[in-house]
Chains A and B, each alone.
Chain A
Amino acid sequence: MTTRIVELRRGILKKNDELAAGLRDRFTAANVLVLNLVSSPGTGKTAFLERTLRELLAQGSRAAALVGDLETDNDARRLAASGAPVRQINTHGICHLEAEMVGKHLDGWELAALDYLFIENVGNLVCPSSYDLGEKIRVALLSVTEGEDKPLKYPTLFNSADAAVITKMDIAEAVGFDREAALRNINEIRPGIRIFETSAKTGAGLAEWLGYLQEQGANHAGS
């Protein structure tokens, strides 16, 4: 019997990374800005996205969404009420979206006819952080009810985010949200990241967020 060491030096998620790189090329070629929204279950991703889609469509932008959930198409139906094209991805037990699932659900969509594509990930702060979906911008969301130390508890996700959105600001006072601590903690994990303080209920912070999208979309076109 002879034993041998075989060097592999191969990423465990190589397949996903390659598919994601292919998607990124497609998104860039079609000049569509793609965002991956990640948070705990119930942070308010769908509510925030509903409002974002409505505002974008109202200003004449073309936006679509993919939404991942373990089961049900409830979130897709809520989002579709905005008038934007929406597709549900049911992962049936998988706790995150993968590039392959995104690729499959783009069939028949003309990407070049879109300005923005939002991907609402499965509610989970751990697993989605390892899976690149080909997005340009990863958005980490955090609600005022889930504790200001969330970024410290889930550094992997917050460190990989390009923007942070604090949701449910309308109830911040009622739940004793410590704004300074939340901002400090986000900054400790991902220094200098853009942070939006929003409410899907009142529309607070939405104008700033839409400005950011426009700015990022323009950068995208120029790059």
Chain B
Amino acid sequence: MHELSLVSSIVDSVTESLARYPGARVIEVRLRVGALAAVIEDSLQFCYGIATEGTPLAGSALVVKTLPVVVHCSRCNVDGAIESVQSFRCPHCGELTMDVRQGREMEIEAIEIEEAEVGG
């Protein structure tokens, strides 16, 4: 259960980036998470609700986009998404490959904010 650690990093990162937008309120935080990142979205959502309380992120939505695991096959010289993370084989020829090109990502892609009215 490292989702709480992940969420506190998210809160820190987002809060830091809000410095440029004084008084802004966060509406949505968008993540890109690889299927191989071992992140459980339910736990993430649960921790998010708790960890954002009393922060500028309170009440915001967390949107998680899952990225498939993509491997490179040197035999076919192509990249392909694997169907299951129980088998790292080229989807075209079935050859085993350890060349993982996508799937470990854990990234904050963007945030949607509501800016405070200036001078109003």
- Where the two chains meet, the residues of A that have a C-beta atom closer than 8 Å to any C-beta of B are 1-16, 94-96, 98, 126-127, 129-131, 152, 155-157, 159-160, 187-193
Whether A12 touches B9, Cβ cut-off 8 Å, given contacts A1-B114, A6-B17, A189-B86, is yes
The answer to whether A8 and B97 touch across the interface, beta carbons within 8 angstroms, is no
Main DSSP-derived SS at the A contact region: mixed
The answer to whether A12 and B36 touch across the interface, beta carbons within 8 angstroms, is no
| Docked complex Cα distance between A141 and B5 (Å) | 24
Chain A residues near B86 (CB-CB < 8 A): 152, 155, 188-189
| Docked complex Cα distance between A15 and B106 (Å) | 13
The answer to whether B112 and A4 touch across the interface, beta carbons within 8 angstroms, is yes
| Docked complex Cα distance between A188 and B96 (Å) | 7
**Of the candidates B12, B37, B110, B111, which one forms a contact with A156 in the assembled complex, judged by CB atoms under 8 Å apart?**
B37
B61 beta carbon closer than 8 Å to chain A: no
The answer to whether A187 and B96 touch across the interface, beta carbons within 8 angstroms, is yes
Main DSSP-derived SS at the B contact region: mixed
- Where the two chains meet, the residues of B that have a C-beta atom closer than 8 Å to any C-beta of A are 1-2, 5-6, 9-10, 12-14, 17, 21, 27, 31, 36-38, 85-89, 96-98, 100, 104, 106-115, 117
| Docked complex Cα distance between A187 and B112 (Å) | 43
The answer to whether B2 and A14 touch across the interface, beta carbons within 8 angstroms, is no
The answer to whether B87 and A188 touch across the interface, beta carbons within 8 angstroms, is yes
| Docked complex Cα distance between A124 and B37 (Å) | 15
* Closest beta carbon of chain A to B110's beta carbon, Å: 5
| Docked complex Cα distance between A63 and B89 (Å) | 38
Chain B residues near A131 (CB-CB < 8 A): 2
Chain B residues near A187 (CB-CB < 8 A): 96
Of all chain B residues, the one with the shortest Cβ separation from A190 is: B98
Can you give 14 contacting A-B residue pairs, CB < 8 Å?
A: A1-B114, A5-B110, A6-B113, A8-B13, A8-B17, A12-B108, A96-B2, A129-B38, A130-B37, A155-B86, A156-B37, A159-B85, A187-B96, A188-B87
